[in-house]
Amino acid sequence: MAGSDQKWVTLASKFPAGLDTETDEIDLTDGFTPDSYGVDIDTPGRLRTGSVPTGTGDIADTSSVGGNTYTWHYRRLWRINGVDLEYLAPRYRDIALVHQIPLSFEEDANALLTFFPFAGTSMFVAKSTGGYQIPGAASLAGNFQHDDIVESMQVSADGNAIAMDGIAYASNTHGLMAWGGGAVTELTALQRAKASDWADTAVTKDEQKRRIIGADKFVYDSRTKLFFDYSTSGFRFTSRTMTDNLSAPFTVVRVGFLLENSGKQDGMIKFQVKRDLEEWQPIEEVDVIWDDDTHGFVEAPLEDWVQAEKFTLRIESLSSWIYIRRIQVLVESNSDVSSYSQ
């Protein structure tokens, strides 16, 4: 295409966008963000402010026998006693009719911290140095054995691991791990920059929405495989970095937001832009004026046109009743604008 050309290019439209701190920002696809927190994840296709959702723990059906508290799993009572996992005779809930020989975890002197069913009829057991699997824990015959320790499934406290869909999830210093009895998966491999903020977090779950919730710090959506950050107060959304695939410089003239005004009132969007490796430019504001519609498009010229080979935008403040459906930029370039990363 000869000469200069201006065209609106979509910078972000797949919301809520999952956090990815490890992929180069120019290689991120729409639907991922290098830096974002405090977003709502219950309004598909919309970017809006939000807070960490709530979850629940595993059901704990307990009984007291001989002054000790046991938990009922697989038709028998179990309890932790130091490095031992004690279990009583099957089918009895209120008397210690038969004490079977406890199952010991003596690879080190660290006490057991938690246990729960997972991976079919297995039991997950964990301490501060690793996790274990007890295969066939539903057997009424007893005489259980455990497999070797799996160090990546360590937990520092009871409550830092939970089961969902037969998978054991463990939050530790290395991130959020998932184990179904085979190889362990490091779910936070693309969020390692948040490891220190998310480390050793108590986890709950939302069974209906298939989420693992790390206290007030993060959410993992097992259906979409996306992570969302809540470890920083407030709200921020950062776009992927836009480039011309021909490595040609371009100029960003304006930014635009396709939105819904759920509150039917005036609002505000505050944003910053960055070019190449420079610092973020001062915050700019765009007013959202309510007229008589819940949908609209607002745009704002940049105080200084941004000429660059890389361009990034981040929203620092957004009225809670404003839902953004798409972020666009008006680009001017001598190259084919259709070549911009999408």
Split at pLDDT 50, 70, 90, the class of 92 is: confident
Structural domain total, the chain:
2
Domain extent, residue 265, equals 5-50+235-339
For the ranges 125-129, 272-276, 281-285, 297-301, the maximum mean pLDDT occurs at 125-129
Q: Which of 196, 227, 258 is the last residue of a domain?
A: 227
The pLDDT of residue 338 = 44
- Give the tokens for residue 261: 């005004």
Residue in the structure block whose two tokens are 């991130």: 175
Report helix, strand or coil for 337.
helix
* pLDDT of 1 over the 50 cut: no
161/258 same-domain check: no
Each residue of 254-269: pLDDT tens digit?
999 999 999 999 999 9
88/134 same-domain check: yes
Find the mean pLDDT for residues 167-171: 98
39/123 same-domain check: no
Each residue of 61-86: pLDDT tens digit?
999 998 899 999 999 999 999 999 99
- Structural domain contains residue 56: no
250/324 same-domain check: yes
Q: In whole angstroms, what is the distance from residue 102 CA to residue 37 CA?
A: 46
Characterize the bridge pairing of strands 5-12 and 322-333.
Answer: antiparallel
Task: Of 242, 265, 260, 262, give the one whose Cα is nearest residue 252.
Answer: 242
The pLDDT of residue 339 = 43
Q: Please give the full DSSP string across 24-54, using - where no structure is assigned.
A: -TTTPPTTEESSEESB-SSSTT-B-B--PPP
- Structural domain contains residue 243: yes
- Structural domain contains residue 102: yes
